[in-house]
Structure 1
């Protein structure tokens, strides 16, 4: 296989891109971590509108029970219901996050949360004491949309006893 020769200009552009990659990765990580913190703050405030604001208009979420929420408006509406019932007064804590850049315009983030103080869980859910808390993992897919990161997909799973990689 013959490798094409690159002009000096292209070599310089390539070197600059490689040199800028760690700074760009740190910037993306900071932006995404800010969104994750805002999600936790919105949950703890019981604020469904704030929780949904970082989702893309056509974003989706699958909760712990496998219920599928389609679209930003549905995510907000369904969380308003949850915050008024089962999860009223509950507290969410972000324990760990692991970010992987899939491309310049998409990022996959796995998080581990602890949820405490919930009223109850559905009868078919494995027993969990609200004082001990429920450990969950959440896999987010973020996309770059008009210079901002938006959640296009989020999927919860129970993680009691399961840890994310460091």
Structure 2
């Protein structure tokens, strides 16, 4: 029996590894699309992978539920305070909790604020950048990776962060 289980595992291992690589690449593509869509001020593209029932905590600690609130909030941000800002994102970790759940943590930099649009109460460095830690939980829904939890926190002044590349 043990030999049979080992044989089955060895036969499935390449397929499992290939699937893990495919899932990793799919999530990395979503993270890259977040950067591109943010930098284009494109709320529909930015919200594209947000689950219908996902949760969202923004850099001020405000909590929202559902795709519509996530989308609406980003429409407001891209037309207002974050209009024409630039997002950079560095992946800190990507970890799978199973075949259908993954956690991605990124360090983000947001820059190019207009002088009148710097967010109140959020630390901005001497170059006018906000640094955040963004934790996103992804879950497969109907075969597609979707964001089910999006928790973004602004880093406090004095928190050491590497310069973006």
TM-score range (shorter-chain normalised) is: 0.7 to 0.9
1:73-152 matches, within 5 Å, as: 73-119=68-114, 120-129=117-126, 131-152=127-148
- Conserved 8 A contact 2:111-2:128: yes
Instruction: Give the C-alpha shift of residue 18 in structure 1.
Output: 2.9
Q: What TM-score, normalized by structure 1, do the two folds share?
A: 0.85
Bigger-Rg structure (1/2): 1
Q: 1:48 aligns with which of 43, 51, 71?
A: 43
- Across the aligned residues of Structure 1 and Structure 2, the Cα RMSD in angstroms comes to 1.9
Query: For the residues of structure 2 that align with 1:61 and 1:46, how far apart are their CA atoms?
Result: 19
Q: Give CA-to-partner distance per residue, 1:96-141, whole Å, 9 cap, x none.
A: 3420011111000111111101243443333444x34122111010
- Conserved 8 A contact 2:103-2:137: yes
Q: Say if 2:37 is the partner of 1:27.
A: no
User: 5+ unaligned residues in a row in structure 1: which ranges?
Assistant: none
Instruction: Give the C-alpha shift of residue 162 in structure 1.
Output: 4.2
Query: For the residues of structure 2 that align with 1:91 and 1:31, how far apart are their CA atoms?
Result: 23
Alignment length (residue pairs) = 157
User: 5+ unaligned residues in a row in structure 2: which ranges?
Assistant: none
